[in-house]
Every structure is written in structure tokens, then in C-alpha cells.
Amino acid sequence: MKALRQRKIKEIIKNSSISTQEELAEALKKTGFEVTQATVSRDIKELRLIKIAGQDFVSVYSLPKEQEMVQNEERLRLMMQEFVIEIDFSENIVVLKTYPGNAHGVASLLDGSKWPGIIGTLAGDDTILLVIKPKEKVEVILGKLKSLMK
């Protein structure tokens, strides 16, 4: 739930001018997330959101690209350790099995990691397919994934 909520927060701040925690909480409620101000505050801190000058010089929340990459790697490590059960592969396809309901969050972080060799992911409820190109990169990707699980 947390990963979905935080992904929604990113989407909201990319598509809307959000200036306050209250505005963000309201935007989340409109999309079906019942949150408290304390939850929004924690999410803002975890996502490392910053305020930048928006239209009419009103400060709005944003997530700088440089910070997003660092944060994705650490979140990916935590999510791999907590939610991924099994890793397997065949040819140029790597399959990650997760606990139910967690595949989308892990896949989103893998997409955001921009690892060379991963040309795309496809997530179901508890399974993620990673398409690797070239096929020779599979061992490198498997090594990185397994090291994140330690």
C-alpha cells in the first residue's frame, strides 16, 4: 500500500501544483487513499520531496532527478529484501516472484533504476518479467538483483 501511495504522490506532484501537505492529502483522498497529515509528512520525507518555485512564484513540491536515482536504489534494496521470494531466468527473461500485491512496486523501482540491459518490465500481482538485451547481460542483472537481496 505504501509503495502504491508513494507512486501516486509522485504522479500527483508531476501533474499538479501542490504547495502544502494538506493539498497533497486531499489529492490523495480524491484518488482513493485515506491518509493522515502524519502519513503525508512521512511520505514527503521518505520521497525527499523539495519545494521549488512554481507558477506565480508559489512554492510547489518536486522530486529532483538526481535524488530520485539514489532513492530508487535504496528503496529497491529494501523492497527486494522484503518482498521478493524467488529469482529465476530463461534465455533473456528474468522472473521475480514476490509476495502477492508487491510486484508493481518492485517493477516500478526496477524501471526507474535505468540499469543497462533491462529493456522493460511487466508486473502482475506477484510476478515480474524483466526483458534483458543483450542476452549476455542476464548474468550481470541476476548478480545485481541477488546482491540487493542480501
**Structural domains of the chain ordered from first start:** 2-63 (1.10.10.10), 66-148 (3.30.1360.40)
Task: Give the whole-angstrom CA distance, residue 101 versus residue 106.
Answer: 10
108 with 128: CB under 8 angstroms? no
70 with 110: CB under 8 angstroms? no
Grid look-up 506477484 returns 126
149 with 84: CB under 8 angstroms? yes
Predicted confidence pLDDT, tens digits, the chain (150 residues) = 888 999 999 999 989 999 999 999 999 999 999 999 999 999 998 888 888 877 777 888 887 664 455 556 778 899 999 999 999 999 999 999 999 999 988 998 898 888 999 999 999 999 999 999 999 999 999 999 999 998
**pTM listed for this prediction:** 0.56
